Amino acid sequence: MNKKFISLREVGRQLDIPPSTIVYYKDKFEKYIPSEGGGGRRTRYPVEVLEIFRRIREMFNDNWSTEQIERELALKFSVLLNDQQPDQCFDQGEPRAGFQELAGVLARMSDVLDNQSLFRSEIRSLRDEVAALRAEREAEAGRQAESVRALREEVASLKRKLSGGEEGASIDFPPAEFLSSPLVIRSGGEFLGVQGKGNKHFSLEAFVQLIERKESAMVTVETSWKKQDSHWVLVVRVDDREKGREQNIILVAKKTITPSRNIVTEIIRLNIDGNDAPDALLLTLFRQLKTVFNG
């Protein structure tokens, strides 16, 4: 009956062991693994080596020492080793030493090429896996961005309904024009605002969104509006549970028409944790907003 043989690549595939690990086992316990063919790419392994590699894997996973593994292999698989037939052809008489050295060098070169092929196969597999993970991450990022966009549209729709004075709506909320007008402060009789790329201006709505971005699993942001005469009062409460601190912000703004007949939303008071922000602090804040807005 013809003997069945198997390659190292097939051994790794059937046992679900990386090719580099199979090569390591083969080199480490070569004298306990039967083979035929004279070395290198010509080497063939009887199908019985599947059980040997499986057992080596188990012993490594159980933290056996090299000596313990060798004793186990010698004891359990000695029959296979005794049945191994040398696959070498000798000329009549003693072969020359130079020929033997050349054969050894060729065999080692063949082993190196075989190992490189296995490593390249494993690298290609890892690259494919990384590419698949990147594609999955990009797809998930796209889904999250779409969810955020839909949520923002829903919030904007709700704000429009509330500002439109729908019957039964009892929540104070500024009109859309007030929220979207340029946000300014008055300094030395001049109106100062923040203008971004494409002549886009910084608005009160953008200011609120900037604050709400702080919200996370450990940070809670609560906002509420109140109409007070001709002014709108925004109350923001930020609770940072990770740092164990709470911040309260009160912003009072009103609709203003500038001398050049532009409609703007003017900040007339900004209070942080009970302290009114001076004009110098407001100027600093707007400079920082300009950097963020144009970032």
pLDDT at 40: 64
pLDDT average, residue stretch 204-214: 82
- The first and second tokens of residue 66, run together, are 């090299």
Q: Mean pLDDT score of the chain, rounded to an integer?
A: 80
Whether residue 36 is predicted with pLDDT greater than 90 in this model: the reply is no
Q: What's the full length of the chain, in residues?
A: 295
What does the pLDDT read at residue 295?
A: 60
Mean pLDDT check: name the lowest of 108-117, 215-224, 278-287.
Answer: 108-117
Q: Residue 85: what pLDDT?
A: 45
Comparing CA positions, the residue from 248, 234, 172, 164 lying closest to residue 204 is 234
Domain residue ranges in the chain? 5-128, 176-293
pLDDT over 80 (residue 164): no
pTM: 0.43
What pLDDT sits at residue 126? 84
Q: pLDDT at position 190, please? A: 85
Judge whether 211 and 289 are in contact, CB under 8 Å: no
Looking at residue 47, its pLDDT comes to: 92
| Spatial distance between the Cα atoms of 88 and 247, rounded to a whole number of angstroms | 84
Regarding beta strands 263-272 and 183-187, do their DSSP bridges make them parallel or antiparallel, or are they unpaired? Answer: parallel
- pLDDT at position 154 is 80
Amino acid 88: pLDDT: 40
- Please write the tens of the pLDDT for every residue from 227-257: 988 899 999 989 888 888 898 999 999 999 9
Residues 6+ positions from 74 with CB-CB distance below 8 Å: 32, 81
Dist. CA 167–CA 172, nearest whole Å: 13
Q: At what angle do helices 66-76 and 49-61 cross, to 10 degrees?
A: 150
pLDDT tier at 277, thresholds 50, 70, 90: confident
- Residues in contact with 127: Cβ distance below 8 Å, sequence separation at least 6, in sequence order: none
Are 175 and 165 within 8 A, CB to CB?
no
Closest CA to 18 of 128, 109, 112, 120: 120
Burial category of 66 from C-beta neighbours within 10 Å (exposed 0-12, middle 13-18, buried 19 and up) = exposed
Residue 166 has pLDDT above 80, yes or no: no
Compute the average pLDDT of residues 32-38. Answer: 82
What residues form DSSP beta bridges with 224?
Answer: 235
Say whether pLDDT at 165 is over 90.
no
State how far the Cα of 70 lies from the Cα of 202, in Å rounded to an integer.
74
Query: At 75, is the pLDDT very low, low, confident or very high (cuts 50, 70, 90)?
Result: confident
115: confidence class by pLDDT, cuts 50, 70, 90: low
pLDDT value at 77 more than 70: yes
Beta bridge partners of 239: 220, 246
What percentage of the chain exceeds 90 in pLDDT?
A: 32
CA 45 to chain centre: 42
Specify which of 18-22, 79-83, 191-195, 291-295 reaches the highest per-range mean pLDDT. Answer: 18-22
Quote the CA–CA distance of 292 and 197 in Å, as a whole number. 12
Res. 146: pLDDT tops 50? yes
Q: Tell me: the pLDDT tens digits for 78-90?
A: 766 655 544 443 3
Average the pLDDT over 68-73 and give the result.
Answer: 93
pLDDT at residue 92 greater than cutoff 50: no
The pair of structure tokens assigned to 281 is: 């602090």
